[in-house]
């Protein structure tokens, strides 16, 4: 997505799960067991909403943040980085000079799309996981023979609908059926596809090295679920960053312009906005580290001083230098992908590597 797109991007209403009215934090721990507080009348809730601007929250966000900040080593699942602002900042990351992965993957897909499309065959349905701006989609969809349907799945609803609308203009003959979903959980296909007689194959496109943002165990489970989603005749097109060179890795996650820092720090702003948090965002800084044993980049938010922040009125203390671990990005080479695929009852059919050897696309098929 270009900066032009970013500026023109108009949100629309983000589809949300129903949110409960804001109550004291006790309810997060023991839903339904808090006695009705008569003093907390509707009017006083409304007044409080006027004053604070927070009226409701996502209970899963609240549960993940409260439990993550209660651990001895604080961490928050990376899922929550991707609100609308986070998704916009992420798109900006993909255009940074330091962030090579998106460009490498696009160049690679340009070269191998025809071969992949050959393998896929006609009338296929493509499901894309973490589709974001769907920028890589046309490369595959455009190479496929009579694609039947395209199902982009993304956690940021407003973003998803915007991208789907653009694609409809570009591929008028393909049924474009966006689904708001989180790939850490089972993805529900639209009814029209779940119960329709099978046409061509079902393909899951999982680009962007997003698999690397899961732990290795979660990654195996995720592949298993994606295998179920596309069925025994299906195929997974998996894009992974396999770079192990720290000199190019570290800047990719800590750019000079500070966009990755803004993306990471937006999590604290989101908590302030959505959970009545009191984080002093200026008192945290972004840090990217490379763990060469685990072969992963870690993103952290480092507390620059001793401080306390409240979330849903609960205090959390931070020592100077203490961090919140916000994301991992594992770097899997071919052998690692082969053993992960085997654990998920799949086999690696084929693969392509970009010329500098940093990025790979693998084709995986469920065992028959």
Q: Which residues bind ligand TRP (CB under 6 A)?
A: 93, 101, 208-210, 212-213, 241, 253, 260, 327, 329
- Dist CA 212 CA 58 (whole Å): 26
Tokens (6 digits) for 349: 């059919």
Residue with smallest beta-carbon separation from ligand TRP: 329
Closest to ligand TRP by CB, 57 or 99 = 99
Cα(56)–Cα(33) distance, integer angstroms: 18
CB of 198 to ligand TRP, least distance (A): 31
The least CB distance from residue 39 to ligand TRP, in Å, is 44
Please identify, using beta-carbon distances, which residue of 79 and 278 lies nearer to ligand TRP.
Answer: 79
Neighbours of 166 (CB within 10 A): 17
Cβ 294 to ligand TRP shortest distance, Å: 14
The CB-side HSE value for 280 (13 A sphere, CA atoms) comes to 11
Question: How many whole angstroms separate alpha carbon 201 and alpha carbon 236?
Answer: 11
Residue 33 neighbours by CB distance under 10 Å: 8
Q: 187: helix, coil or strand?
A: coil
What are the tokens at 259?
A: 């966009």
Find the shortest distance in angstroms from Cβ 212 to ligand TRP. Answer: 5
Which C-beta is closer to ligand TRP: that of 104 or that of 125?
Answer: 104
> Of 255 and 274, which CB lies nearer to ligand TRP in the complex structure?
255
Largest CA distance in the chain: 67
- What is the smallest separation between the CB atom of 308 and ligand TRP, expressed in angstroms? 27
Cβ–Cβ < 8 Å for 175, 148:
yes
Shortest Cβ distance from residue 284 to ligand TRP (Å)?
16
Question: Nearer to ligand TRP by C-beta: 202 or 300?
Answer: 300
Q: With respect to ligand TRP, which residue has the nearer C-beta, 27 or 269?
A: 269
């Amino acid at each position: 997505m270009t900066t032009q797109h970013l500026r023109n991007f108009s949100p629309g209403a983000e589809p949300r799960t129903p949110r409960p009215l804001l109550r004291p934090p006790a309810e997060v721990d023991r839903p339904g067991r808090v006695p009705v507080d008569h003093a907390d009348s509707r009017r006083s809730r409304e007044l409080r909403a006027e004053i604070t601007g927070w009226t409701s929250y996502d209970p899963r966000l609240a549960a993940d943040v409260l439990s993550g900040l209660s651990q001895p080593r604080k961490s928050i699942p990376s899922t929550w980085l991707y609100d609308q602002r986070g998704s916009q900042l992420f798109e900006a990351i993909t255009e940074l000079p330091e962030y090579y992965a998106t460009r490498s993957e696009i160049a690679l897909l340009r070269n191998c799309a025809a071969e992949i499309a050959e393998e896929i065959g006609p009338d296929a349905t493509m499901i894309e996981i973490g589709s974001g701006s769907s920028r890589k989609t046309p490369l595959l969809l455009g190479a496929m023979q009579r694609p039947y349907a395209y199902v982009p799945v993304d956690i940021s609803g407003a973003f998803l609908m915007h991208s789907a609308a653009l694609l409809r203009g570009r591929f008028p003959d393909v049924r474009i059926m966006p689904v708001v979903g989180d790939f850490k959980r089972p993805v529900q296909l639209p009814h029209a596809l779940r119960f329709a007689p099978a046409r061509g194959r079902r393909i899951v496109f999982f680009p962007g090295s997003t698999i690397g943002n899961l732990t290795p165990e979660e990654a195996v489970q995720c592949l298993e679920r994606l295998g179920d989603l596309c069925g025994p005749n299906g195929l997974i097109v998996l894009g992974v960053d396999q770079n192990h060179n720290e000199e190019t890795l570290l800047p990719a996650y800590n750019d000079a312009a500070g966009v990755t820092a803004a993306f990471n720090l937006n999590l604290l702003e989101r908590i302030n906005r959505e959970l009545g948090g009191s984080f002093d965002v200026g008192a945290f800084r972004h840090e990217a580290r490379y763990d060469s044993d685990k072969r992963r980049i870690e993103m952290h938010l480092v507390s620059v001083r001793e401080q306390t922040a409240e979330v849903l009125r609960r205090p959390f203390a931070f020592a100077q230098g203490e961090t919140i671990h916000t994301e991992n990005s594992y770097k899997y080479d071919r052998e690692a992908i082969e053993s992960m695929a085997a654990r998920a009852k799949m086999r690696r059919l084929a693969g392509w590597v970009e010329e500098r050897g940093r990025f790979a696309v693998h084709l995986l098929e469920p065992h028959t």
